[in-house]
Amino acid sequence: MKKIVLIALLSVLFTNCQSDDSEQENADNSKSSISFTLNDKTQYVTATDVSGSAIDVTWSKSEPTANTENEYSIYGSFIIKNPASNDNRDSGDMYFQIVTSDAKLTAGKTYDISFSYLNSGVNGIPLAYDPAVCYTSTDLFQGSYTAGKIKITSFDGTTLKAEFSIENLTNKNPYSDFGYCNGIKIVEKSFTITRGSLIAMPE
């Protein structure tokens, strides 16, 4: 009889532990985040608000009309990882789109990123900061040869997890011409995002 009671007690404890672990895992998985590396140098991670809480990374879907495909938009805010000073750290926004005929993004499938844009804001360190180089702005735009890929690692209709990379973003603002820096004409440069990963929640 004692053995039966002991086995039953252990079973209950084991089940509770599994339940707690599962709930904890679900809680962790529901937290949005974004991280990426620019030009294999500067690392960026999820932005936080004044209280230190993470700012949401979100996704949204535009419903197609009769002649259009499904369009997913992903947006996230970021800061530079391990800034030298909290008063002089970069912050910005990342935005890109996925256009697909798939009714729902499929886990394990890689999609083209149809549009991409990064804005680092007007304060702090310029995006892709290099003290020896001037840029027209702290924004990076999609250029003529930009190619982006995003691999969906999991998607249950709510939590979207993915890995991404974008090649040949440019410092050329499509709405204005290059100016001069210290008397020297600013030239166009390209930037590449690698090791990108995100967890996004519905907008």
Q: What are 65-86's pLDDT values in tens digits? A: 666 789 999 999 888 777 654 5
Query: Do 67 and 1 sit in the same domain of this protein?
Result: no
The predicted pLDDT at position 129 comes to 44
Give the mean pLDDT of 93-117. Answer: 91
The predicted pLDDT at position 119 comes to 78
Give the mean pLDDT of 26-31. Answer: 47
State the pTM of this model. 0.73
Query: Do 54 and 18 sit in the same domain of this protein?
Result: no
Q: How many domains does the chain have?
A: 2
Query: Do 95 and 172 sit in the same domain of this protein?
Result: yes
Task: Tell whether the model's pLDDT for residue 178 goes beyond 80.
Answer: no
Contact yes or no for 36/44 (Cβ under 8 A): yes
Query: Do 14 and 102 sit in the same domain of this protein?
Result: no
Query: Do 22 and 66 sit in the same domain of this protein?
Result: no
Residue 8 belongs to what domain range? 1-28
Query: Do 99 and 144 sit in the same domain of this protein?
Result: yes
Query: Do 47 and 130 sit in the same domain of this protein?
Result: yes
Give the mean pLDDT of 45-69. Answer: 79
Query: Do 20 and 36 sit in the same domain of this protein?
Result: no
Query: Do 140 and 196 sit in the same domain of this protein?
Result: yes
Torsion sign (Cα): 167, 136, 123, 60: negative
Query: Do 156 and 172 sit in the same domain of this protein?
Result: yes
Query: Do 107 and 189 sit in the same domain of this protein?
Result: yes
Residue in 82, 43, 77 with CA at minimum distance from that of residue 58:
77
83 versus 195: which is more confidently predicted?
195
pLDDT level of residue 143 (50, 70, 90 thresholds): confident
